[in-house]
Structures are given as structure tokens and as C-alpha cells.
Amino acid sequence: MTTIASQLESYRSALAEATANGDQAVARKLEQQIKDLEDFQGRHPEAQEAPSPFEVFCELNPADEKCRVYDD
């Protein structure tokens, strides 16, 4: 089980590495993931387990067709 805090730490260390290597595309992606995960944490302060990037995406974009849930 990965916690939100450990996931943020992992993203931040990867961001520092990408920035040091001059990989701007990866750095931008990681910055967005950090922002999204921090937003998720702000909306769900009781959550301890880190959600997947897809769960965070659907939390932020519930109307997106990839996030639709159909009841049978």
C-alpha cells in the first residue's frame, strides 16, 4: 500500500531528476501529477492510500468518456 505522502515524495524526487536532466516534458507531466494529487488530498483529507493516476484523473474529470460507469 502506497500512501499519498510517499507517492508525492516519489513524484518530487522524479521531478528533481527530470529537471536536472533537462527533460522538460517529463518535468511538466510530474508537476501536473503533483498538483492533481495534492488537490485530491485536499478534497479527501481522510484518505491515506494513494489513488492511481487514472482515479485522480476521473476525480477531476468525471464527465470524461473514459470515466463513465454504466450500471447493468
Domain boundaries, the chain: 4-67
pLDDT of residue 70: 81
Nearest residue to 37 via CA among 10, 66, 65, 71: 10
Read off the pLDDT of residues 30-40 as tens digits, 9 standing for 90 and up.
999 999 999 99
Distance CA 24, CA 18 (A): 7
Segments of the chain with pLDDT less than 70: none
